[in-house]
Each structure stands twice: as structure tokens, then as C-alpha cells.
Structure 1
């Protein structure tokens, strides 16, 4: 059986190209292909190398190939197509919406939502009809817990493809339950959060009752020299950085290694401390242990109030 570059293998296409059901059964038995759903398979070697989001994109295509009615990719699946970052997304089923007021259902492979859609709610992404960025976020803010909703909302706003007025308009068009919850989450969303880790840190700070920090502040020394940009800045003298490993690899310059970035970051922090700032890092582990994190941040605040005001400016 011939397996081409496209990892998605549909039975009807395989049969047209000369393969038989016996060939397909043999390929399944020897592990060279994996069943995605009835009549849809994928090359196992390709699946093993895929990220979770890529696997879900494949599942979207497999499910749409078997759809017997007009369905629009929506919710978490639409967020994957739009490239929005999410926290612990539920990707075991493909989420689609049927333009009707009833008849939603769940199966092993698919979650069909029944909700009215307008032309303003629809866009095409790579040849697939999908809810617009604004409608996608609106749908998710209705159903996701606050933290997960903030993560996807921050990501969509940061990408610039969704806006708060657009999301509010999509919420009003779609009606239904969860409007108050969605608006509350949207009010908290901020495009200046640059990662899921930073979004979750903001939520944790809020839940622990800490004052809201300033986000993405550029700092300069007294001579106007740029020192760096902070993730979270508390005006009483504390800088909080979310320490996800991606920050050491995301913006590598040619010839630069992650180790080079770590050293540069250490030197930058030493300079900030010398100018009067108390620096603290927040890790993924801290997000899972809020009491420990709160104690660390309180100690940082106590140290900051005992020191002179930092000798930096937020403008050159």
C-alpha cells in the first residue's frame, strides 16, 4: 500500500489508488498505519513525530471527511487552527458547531455544539470553515475555567486576530448561557502576557490577593541605557519573571546558544539588583504550589520595602 506525503489516509482515496481492504487490514496489523476513526487512518511513523496540536489538526481533517452535514470547526479545535496557546486543552474530541438551536451531541471522536452562527462568525483557515477568532474566544470563555479562559484570551489578543470589542460582539450575537462568566474572564485578559506561563502567573497573583503588577515594562538606567524588559513589575521594588525554558531558546540569535542566553540573563539580573530591584523567578512548579510561591513573594516584598527605591526609569 502506497503512503504519500500527506499523513492522512482515507479509505476511499486508498481504494481509488489501487489498495484493497485486505491491504489496509495488513497495514493496520503490522502497525504501519493507525486508525483515526472509521475510514480514516494515518501513517504511524508520522504520528510519532507530531505535537499534540498537529495530531489534533489531523483528527479535525479526519472527522470532517466523514461529516454528513455542514459543520464548522469551533471551540478548542478552532483555537488550534488559529494557533492560540491554551492551558491543558481538551483535545480528545474534535469540536464542531452546527448552525442550529438544538441537537448537540458527543461521540468518541467528536463534540457537536448546536448554536446559531452568522456570517460574521465564520472564516476559512487552510480550506477549513472555522469560527472566527473573536467567536472562538467567545465560545471558549463561556465554558472554560477562569484560568484556562485567561490563557486562550491573552493569546488571541496578543496575536491581534481577536479584539475585546469583537469578542463582546460575538458573545452578544451567540447569546445563551455563560455570558456573565465570559465577560468577567475577558475583563481580566491582557495581550501583554506573552505566554501561557505568564497568563497563569497573573491569575495566581490575582487569586492570592497580591496587587496587580505592571506588565512588560522597559527599564533604563540613570544614563538612559536600556537594561531589559520585565515580565511583572511591582512599583514597591520587586521584579517577577516567569521562568519557562522557552524564553532561553525562543529568540536565539545566529551563533547563540541557550547557555549564552542564560549567562546574559544572569548578568542582566545582577545589574538590576545592583540598581536596587529585588528579583524573583516563578516556575511551573511554583504555579502548582501557590502557598510556597506566596511565601516567596511576600519575603521579596519585605526585602524591597527595607531598601532604597530602585535607581531606574521606565523611559530612556
Structure 2
């Protein structure tokens, strides 16, 4: 690889952690300020890239976390950008640092900056980030993320909490058998989830769940609107802008 180029990790690198690049499809950013080009599996983005924005992983020069997140977000939808930013913040990137890479008049910049305003490291999965993107687009009232409840000596952390009255849980794409500990079965895991939900309901909380398929079909927002209306929570504050 030429010294004038640096590898730019694709979205999966942010969401799932740094991975060794696929050799059949490589993204590069020119460090000399040249324009971008696509030649077969080789995608070159316009530079330049400062040395401070370059990290070395397994001996390979790659763009750092903040710059990678910003570059991906500019070429993404609002929901995708929010997911990338949430993940980058969880991995230690700072909002101010990402914002620096979003300055200037480049395609996709305004939408990416809008997504960054709502990014939150407490959004712990792709499903939660996608859920939040749909809530933001629908102007739903803000939910507190990862709130903890103590019930009968046990602590339960919930995905979304509206005013201590409504709990939202995103099941994502994870199957119960992927969460099993040694000696556990899918049935015991499902039973534990049911006990958890019943414990929260005993506190007087309403609990609503959704999964990946419901996000794909656009069913989550109507579901939440029904519950928020029933509990008189639609007039609550709009979604907050996360700090950080």
C-alpha cells in the first residue's frame, strides 16, 4: 500500500469493533489531498488526513475512530449515522472530536451533524439506535436510557424509560440461544426474561417490547404512540440532546 493512502474502515468496523479489512473490497483515504475515485474494489476518498487522525491496528494504518465515524455518517441515512455515532461514543470517541471532522461544506454534512446532536453512548445496540432514530423522526417525547430499577434485591436495567411509568425494551436480532450461559436452555432464559418483566410490572410500570422485524415494518412508533397516549405522556419533553 502506498504511504500516501490510509485505510478507511467500513461501517461494520464501528458497529462491531475494529476488524481486519476484507481484501476483496478496500476503502482508502488519500493523505495528499487528491480527489476521490473508485476502481473496482478499491474506493479512494479525498484527503487530506492529518497524522493525528491515523491509528495503527495490526500494523495497518487506518483512519481513527472519530474521523471514521464522521466519514461514514456523511454517506449514510440519519438512522445509520446515529447508529455509527452511538457506537463510536461507546468505544471512547468524543462528540467534540467527531464534530471537528464534520465541519465545512461537504456532502452529507448537515444530516450527519443533526444525527450527532442526538448521539448517546448509553444506546447499547444497533436495535436501540435504530429505535431512537425512528422515535426522533416521529418527534416522540424523550426516554431515559439504561435506567435501573431495584426489585426484591435484584437490579434491572431497561432500554428506554418514559417518566418512570413506561418501559420500552428492544429485543433486536438476538436469539435466546445466543445469550445462554453454560447449563442454561432457551426455556430457562425466556422464563428469566418473563420474571424480569413481571417484577417491573409489580412496580406499576407498563412494559412494551418490540423486535427487529417490527422496526423494519415501521410498527414501533405506532405502538409507542398508543402507550404514550394512554398514559398521558405525549406532552412530555421532546427527545433530549445527549451530552458528550
Contact 1:138 1:167 in 2 (8 A): yes
Query: How many residues are treated as equivalent by the alignment?
Result: 229
Rounded to whole Å, the distance in 1 between the matches of 2:197 and 2:15 is: 38
Question: Are 1:76 and 2:10 counterparts?
Answer: yes
Contact 2:66 2:101 in 1 (8 A): yes
Q: Which residue of 1 aligns with 2:112?
A: 182
Report matched runs for 1:10-25 at 5 Å: none
Q: Which residue of 2 aligns with 1:301?
A: 228
Rounded to whole Å, the distance in 1 between the matches of 2:12 and 2:171 is: 29
Contact 1:77 1:96 in 2 (8 A): no
Q: Which residue of 1 aligns with 2:190?
A: 262
Query: Which one has the bigger helix percentage?
Result: 1
Q: Which residue of 2 aligns with 1:280?
A: 208
Select the residue among 132, 145, 153 that pairs with 2:64: 132
Rounded to whole Å, the distance in 1 between the matches of 2:211 and 2:12 is: 29
Report matched runs for 1:187-206 at 5 Å: 187-206=117-136
Alpha-carbon offset, residue 288 of structure 1: 1.8
Contact 1:134 1:166 in 2 (8 A): yes
Rounded to whole Å, the distance in 2 between the matches of 1:98 and 1:127 is: 18
Alpha-carbon offset, residue 92 of structure 1: 7.9
Q: Which segments of 5 or more consecutive residues in structure 2 lack a partner in the other structure?
A: 234-244
Q: Which residue of 2 aligns with 1:60?
A: none
Rounded to whole Å, the distance in 2 between the matches of 1:84 and 1:127 is: 13
What SS does the corresponding residue of 2:207 show, helix, strand or coil? Answer: strand
Superposed CA offset, 1:68-119 (max 9, x none)? 563211151683698169xxxxx98421111133331112211111211111
Go from structure 1 to structure 2 and tell me whether the alpha carbon gap of 1:256 and 1:245 turns closer, same or farther (over 3 Å shift): farther
Alpha-carbon offset, residue 171 of structure 1: 3.4
Q: Which residue of 2 aligns with 1:246?
A: 174
Alpha-carbon offset, residue 293 of structure 1: 2.7
Rounded to whole Å, the distance in 2 between the matches of 1:277 and 1:101 is: 56
Q: Which residue of 2 aligns with 1:146?
A: 78
Go from structure 1 to structure 2 and tell me whether the alpha carbon gap of 1:102 and 1:176 turns closer, same or farther (over 3 Å shift): farther
Rounded to whole Å, the distance in 1 between the matches of 2:65 and 2:124 is: 18
Rounded to whole Å, the distance in 2 between the matches of 1:217 and 1:250 is: 24
Give the TM-score of the pair, scaled to structure 2.
0.82
Q: Which segments of 5 or more consecutive residues in structure 1 lack a partner in the other structure?
A: 1-66, 86-90, 307-316
Give the TM-score of the pair, scaled to structure 1.
0.65
- Structure number with higher relative contact order (C-alpha < 8 Å, ≥ 6 residues apart): 2
Rounded to whole Å, the distance in 1 between the matches of 2:229 and 2:15 is: 45
Rounded to whole Å, the distance in 1 between the matches of 2:229 and 2:141 is: 14
Go from structure 1 to structure 2 and tell me whether the alpha carbon gap of 1:176 and 1:100 turns closer, same or farther (over 3 Å shift): farther
Superposed structure 1 runs of 4+ greater than 6 Å apart? none
Task: Give the structure with higher Rg (CA).
Answer: 1
Report matched runs for 1:53-92 at 5 Å: 67=1, 70-76=4-10, 79=13, 83=17
Report matched runs for 1:205-244 at 5 Å: 205-221=135-151, 225-235=153-163, 237-244=165-172
Q: Which residue of 1 aligns with 2:40?
A: 108
